[in-house]
Amino acid sequence: MGKLIFDADGRPIRQDKIRNLKISDYTLGDVTERSKEFTIEQAEKEPLKTSSSLEFLKEESEKPEMQENPLDNNAETKGLGINNYWSLYLSEKGIETKLPPLKFTNNKTQEDVVKEVVELSKEHKVIFIHGTCGSGKSAIALNIARILGKSSIVVPVKALQKQYEEDYITKKYLRKADGRKMKIAMITGRDNHDSIINPGVSCADPSLPENIKIVEKNYGKIMEYVRQNPFISNSGNLTLENVRRFTVAASNPYWSPILPANFELKSLTDAKRIRYNGVNGQEHIFYHRKKGCSYYDQYLAYMDADVTIFNSAKYRAEISLGRKPMTEVDIIDEADEFLDEFFQQDELNLTRLLASARGFYPESNLAQKSLEKIKKLIELEEQNKKARGIIEDDVFHISETKVQEILQEFNLNLDLEAEITLDELNYLNKATETARTFEHSLDKLYLTYRKNEEGNLLIKLVSTDISGKFKDLLNKTKLLIFMSGTLHSDKIIKNIFEINNFKIVQAEELNFGSTEIVATGKEFDCRYSNLSSNAHSREDYLTALSKCMEKAQTPVLIHVNAFKDLPTEDEIKRLGLDNLMSTEKIKADQREDKEGLLISNFKKGLSKSLFTTKCSRGIDFPGEMCNSIIFTKYPNPNVSDTFWKVLQKTHPDYYWEFYKDKAWRGFLQRIYRALRSPNDKVKILSPDIRVLECVKKLQRAINI
């Protein structure tokens, strides 16, 4: 991709080709020019995906040279490789360059780590890889997958999923034993894909037949779709109550659902029925109809890709529904964050759920009865809260509420689940996924209530059944590999997560780069008690944050710990804080930025600053992409969150240990977004003196 050329007024007018940069072991080259700041409105939007962009579906034109897989006993391929456990190539201008494994300061190479993990996998089902941030764990993961076979890789956020795509599909690649490139696929949401029947809008567009709400106001459009459905012969007699998702969605010839095999869609006679085994042992059918829509075609990866990369939310959903295919190995990147989420949290909007249930008309009589029961239970729950009132700090065990019966009813009726699955964007799917998630831990489930700005009743659910959740995941995988630069301590892994039979493999142990503290003289302890007691005012805090922006060397990454850390629009005007982003703007920008353009443009040098709550993990800003990092506050978790209330109530013995451990790991991860090689340097600023004290602690630890 080229750099943007600007006219005299700072408007982008064309792209120029970037000079070729020298590739080194740890650095990605130098970004020497910085442009004027871009907003999301000005940025050139990344095009929606089409099937032509799904690289795993493409066949190589030339017969490749065979390579050796160390576990391959096939005489035809044995002995032909040079690096048995390592494969990584870079292609530039048609020239293929083999990239050697990096060597770490402990004298291991990336290839050594791959070999060690593969050998351990013969006797152990759980393996941890500890390697500092920026030490090439992604390439290690892909080479493990290359050796062991069909694999799933899980990343915490969509932006890291995109980084895998850019690094290992478009720029670099691996070759398998037969010499062919590894087929790596991404499973991404509807809003990333172009609609074929309505080009230019995403597959998440609410007017499309598979998404349109089946309500009275859409009656005209719905009946138009019904008439286009080739499987409906007599549409004239249909009323809205008789319309099902299939009735409407099948008018889109690309609509291709995945369902449990015991709920067969016999009407989809134009579909190729592709069967596969899900993680719960249940057979599923992918009803693949007309090719060409990348959203549906991407699910061919379940059968055809060597590696499928999920973001954490999608992985958990597919696991809980049993729809994810069984693979030889599941590799979890940023493993400590993934494990933290075993303290399962979820939120359900009961008001929205009731509205969705009232507009849903199942075909099966049993499903209808279940749905009627669910509606009555939600109504009773709403009436109860209306009568008694809501105190948001109150924590309830699920047995004290009707929520337990609601979730149980979703789990009991497989017909209802299957019919809901057909209507993919219906909010009932959220309830189904939640019910499956907590299916085996209802006795350890707690909740709180709140009302949102629209007056909807919401519940926040928290389970402390850590060992149960881990055992459930273990039962749905053949081999689990966890990777992180900030693993939990052995004590926490054993005592809190109750994982005992595991091995830890060390990759790079030395943290890269160096930090420099930049003090403004306005720092103070920004803990909640100091601000709430008026020991320091909010104006003191915002002024100190503004001073950090003044002194920071751009490009600057601003880690926003909470939206309220930023000023409101009124505060910016009143206090003259023109160098800060408002709470309202960051919320709007992040809500609209579904494609990660703000992060992408910052990485490309198209903006001098990035205010974000979304770059605490996984995203790399090496070299001069980021010269300064500002912490709005030390990243302590929010103790008023339901999870921490429940944890303190149920496990007071390790509450503070886990709390402090999580905060410290979060602090390190945020710093190491900019330290990706030994030569990287970053300046650290914050209005919160606790941040600077922790940087000093880190500097002392590195210098020992």
Yes or no: say if 447 and 407 are a contact pair by the CB < 8 Å rule: no
How much is the pLDDT for 45? Answer: 59
Long-range contacts of 20-24 (CB under 8 A, 24+ apart): 20/92, 23/90, 23/99
Q: What type of residue sits at position 658?
A: F
Q: Would you put residue 663 in left (φ > 0), alpha (ψ -120 to 50) or beta?
A: alpha
CA angle 145, 147, 153 (to 5 degrees): 5
d(CA 25, CA 102): 6
Q: Which tokens hold the place of 146? A: 């290359």
Q: What type of residue sits at position 549?
A: M
Domain ranges of the chain: 346-463, 514-703
Q: Would you put residue 417 in left (φ > 0), alpha (ψ -120 to 50) or beta?
A: alpha
514-703: which CATH architecture?
3-Layer(aba) Sandwich (3.40)
Yes or no: say if 72 and 147 are a contact pair by the CB < 8 Å rule: no
d(CA 568, CA 582): 5
Residue 664: helix, strand or coil by DSSP? helix
Tell me the mean pLDDT per 10 residues along the chain, length 704. 36 35 30 36 65 86 56 45 79 88 94 97 96 88 97 87 83 91 93 93 95 91 94 80 90 96 91 95 95 96 96 91 95 90 84 94 92 97 91 91 96 90 90 90 90 92 83 93 90 83 91 91 93 90 98 98 96 97 96 85 94 87 94 93 84 86 92 88 97 94 64
Q: Which tokens hold the place of 532? A: 């709430």
Alpha helices in 566-653 (DSSP H): 569-575, 583-592, 597-603, 642-650
d(CA 211, CA 245): 9
How much is the pLDDT for 79? Answer: 41
**Is the Cα torsion angle 532, 535, 537, 543 positive or negative in sign?**
negative
What's the predicted TM-score (pTM) here? Answer: 0.79
Sheet bearing 457-463, strands edge to edge: 345-349, 457-463, 445-451, 396-397
* The residue count for the chain: 704
Burial string for 476-490 (b: 16+ CB within 10 Å, else e) reads: bbebbbbbbbbbbee
Q: For residue 226, give the DSSP letter.
A: H
Alpha-carbon distances of 483 from 126, 310, 335, rounded to whole Å: 11, 15, 5
d(CA 25, CA 90): 13
Q: Which residues contact 604 (CB under 8 A, 6 or more apart)?
A: 1, 3
How much is the pLDDT for 82? Answer: 40
How much is the pLDDT for 36? Answer: 36
d(CA 509, CA 502): 19
Identify each DSSP E strand in 593-663 by its residue range: 609-612, 628-631
Sheet bearing 503-506, strands edge to edge: 184-186, 307-311, 151-155, 329-332, 480-484, 126-130, 503-506
How much is the pLDDT for 61? Answer: 63
d(CA 398, CA 533): 35
| CA 626 to the chain's CA centroid | 23
d(CA 295, CA 579): 40
Q: What type of residue sits at position 329?
A: V
Q: Which tokens hold the place of 682? A: 């970053």
Which of 629, 643, 647 has the alpha carbon at shortest distance from 686?
Answer: 629
Residue 126: helix, strand or coil by DSSP? strand
CA angle 289, 295, 300 (to 5 degrees): 60
What dihedral do alpha carbons 396, 402, 404, 406 form, nearest 10°? -140
How much is the pLDDT for 41? Answer: 45
Element (H, E) at 337: helix 335-340
Residue 6: helix, strand or coil by DSSP? strand
How much is the pLDDT for 598? Answer: 92
| CA 155 to the chain's CA centroid | 6
Q: Which tokens hold the place of 525? A: 């302890």
